[in-house]
Amino acid sequence: MKTLQIIFIIALLALTAGIGVRMVNQWQTEQQPQSLPTFSFPDLNGISHSSTEWQGKIIVLNFWATWCPSCLKEIPAFMALQTQYGEKVQFVGIALDDLEAVKTFQQKTAVNYPLLISGDWAGFQLAKQLGNSVSAIPYTVVVNHDGQVIYRHAGELSARELQAAISPLL
């Protein structure tokens, strides 16, 4: 009986250590800047937009969906920040949703920054490539003038948190 308990304790310790190592590695990966990969998605009119379109600007990419309450809650703050920062910062919403749902939302809300339609798979793949290891939405990244992803945030993001990430870049 004691042997079984010792084996169980050793297995539990090994599992805990493995989880800890993975979390540390993930944290280190998320802290390191990475280049924004080139991508393109269509807007609400079917016109394709490439990430290279906003080179040289601070870019805020927000992965969201119309069925996500937290996503919808943060959009008004993003709209206000887009107005505040004007030409210095470009917000881009990447909808993990279907075109008709986003069109309906845009008609009601009049979002003042580009909304691109990625569908489900391609958008989640890009978000994962940018550090979203748990496929959470909303998911927001900030890209500096040099095209480096320097900030990542899974879950609802407040205007204050986002301003703290953007302000040093201005």
- Are 65 and 135 in the same domain? yes
DSSP string, 20-87: HHHHHHHHHHHHS-EEPPP-EEE-TTS-EEEGGGGTTSEEEEEEE-TT-HHHHHHHHHHHHHHHHHGG
| Domain co-membership, 18 together with 49 | no
What is the overall mean pLDDT for the chain?
87
State residue 40's pLDDT score: 96
Shared domain for 3 and 43, answered yes or no, is no
CATH of the domain at 93: 3.40.30.10
- 3-state secondary structure (DSSP) of residue 142: strand
Percent of the chain with pLDDT over 90: 76
Model confidence band, residue 27 (pLDDT cutoffs 50, 70, 90): very low
- pLDDT in the model for residue 32: 67
- Which tokens go with 32? 């390191």
Q: Say whether pLDDT at 31 is over 90.
A: no
**In a shared domain, residues 109 and 62:** yes
Alpha-carbon gap, residue 47 to 34, rounded angstroms: 27
Mean pLDDT of all residues in 18-32: 44
Q: Model's pTM, two decimal places?
A: 0.81
Could you read off the pLDDT of 69-104 as tens digits, one per residue?
A: 999 999 999 999 999 998 899 999 999 999 999 999
Which residue type is seen at 39? F
Please indicate, yes or no, whether residues 80 and 4 belong to a single structural domain of this protein. no
- Whether residue 48 is predicted with pLDDT greater than 90 in this model: the reply is yes
User: Cα–Cα distance between 83 and 91 in angstroms, integer?
Assistant: 10
Nearest Cα neighbor of 113 from 136, 143, 142, 80 is: 80
Where is average pLDDT lowest: 15-24, 107-116, 143-152? Answer: 15-24
Q: Both 24 and 107 in a single domain?
A: no
Q: Residues 107, 162: one domain?
A: yes
pLDDT at 6: 63
The answer on 159 and 120 residing in a single domain is yes
Same domain, 164 and 114: yes
- Domain extent at residue 10: 1-32
Residue 119: pLDDT band with limits 50, 70, 90: confident
Instruction: Find out whether 140 and 132 touch, Cβ atoms under 8 Å.
Output: no
Instruction: Find how far residue 63's CA is from the centre of its chain.
Output: 5
Q: Are residues 47 and 120 in the same domain?
A: yes
Assess whether 62 and 122 both reside in one domain: yes
Domains in the chain, number: 2
DSSP secondary-structure letter at 155?
S
pLDDT exceeds 70 at position 146: yes
Q: Are residues 57 and 108 in the same domain?
A: yes
